[in-house]
Amino acid sequence: MSSFDSPLREALASAVRNGPVEPFEAGVREQDMWLRSQVAAPPRLLPGESPDGQALEAREVMVLEPHDVPTGPAATVGPGPLVCPMDLRGRSAAALVGFLGEAEIPLRSAVLSLPVEKARVRASAVVGELAGKAVHVLSSTWTVPLPWFVLVDPTERRLVASSDGTRKRVSWRAPMADARRRVARAHSVARESLGEEGPTKILRETGRWLERFHPHSAVELDYGGLVQMMSDSDLMADTSAEDVHAIVDAMESGDAGEVGERYEALRDFWSEFAAHERYN
């Protein structure tokens, strides 16, 4: 909390006092905020903003305590609370800019409540407000970018079910110092083995993102709603974090056979879920 500047720090402290978003509820809360923005009169272009397009006070925040993050002797986490603003307005604006650049004209016209170019200008302005700031949540649809697994210790996977057993959550948590160290090593190895593009580029961008945060903060990798598409047998068979770390080790030692076998296993596991993007 102490790493945030005023007035955001006070807004986040108020949000924490009023009750942070539970991890199981984060996806549902985002959907609810978006739906409320669309049924408002007049409709808002983005969730988390007033009718005139101004940002509302930050109310959506997730919280961790330092003791919830596995640490070793070389990493410090805290003091708590560790707070993560969900940044829904900015993330929605970035997604909207991407949608407007890729969607067909009839689809763009059907989903917008104002002219396309006006929506593009307003969303781009919100994205511009993020420049130089730390976006606290990065997300991906239908699959997890494989380079993200290097941030975490494979042995620290957490599988938790809701009290009624209807929802599951898969996540890893790591001290920021450990995550930065792992990404830096993987980036160096990938650059030597693969060049500057592909996974190397993702690792470079991820490392730069991590540098925006306080060195005593933490990072969490979470499957989000994707885990609801996974059966118990899928979760038992999921060795993604182990495979990615083994690939980095194998690239460093020059073991091309190990790299190929591990990558094939990852491709087979994740291709089923990635295919849903085409179905949708």
Is residue 38 within 8 Å of 24, Cβ to Cβ?
Answer: no
Q: What is the pLDDT of residue 279?
A: 67
Nearest to 274 by CA among 117, 140, 96, 104: 140
Measured CA to CA, the distance from residue 223 to residue 201 in angstroms comes to 22
Residue that the structure tokens 């949000």 belong to: 15
> Model-level pTM?
0.86
- H or E element that contains 229: none
Domain boundaries, the chain: 8-129, 146-279
Nearest to 27 by CA among 137, 112, 181: 137
Q: What is the pLDDT of residue 189?
A: 95
Is residue 154 within 8 Å of 174, Cβ to Cβ?
Answer: no
Measured CA to CA, the distance from residue 132 to residue 142 in angstroms comes to 28
> What's the full length of the chain, in residues?
280
- Mean pLDDT for each consecutive 10-residue tract of the chain (280 residues)? 85 87 83 83 82 77 91 83 89 87 83 83 86 81 91 93 78 94 96 90 94 93 88 89 96 92 91 76
Give me 165's structure tokens.
């057993």
Q: What is the pLDDT of residue 104?
A: 84
Q: What is the pLDDT of residue 23?
A: 81
Local structure of 75: helix, strand or coil: coil
Q: What is the pLDDT of residue 210?
A: 95
Q: What is the pLDDT of residue 52?
A: 77
Measured CA to CA, the distance from residue 62 to residue 81 in angstroms comes to 10
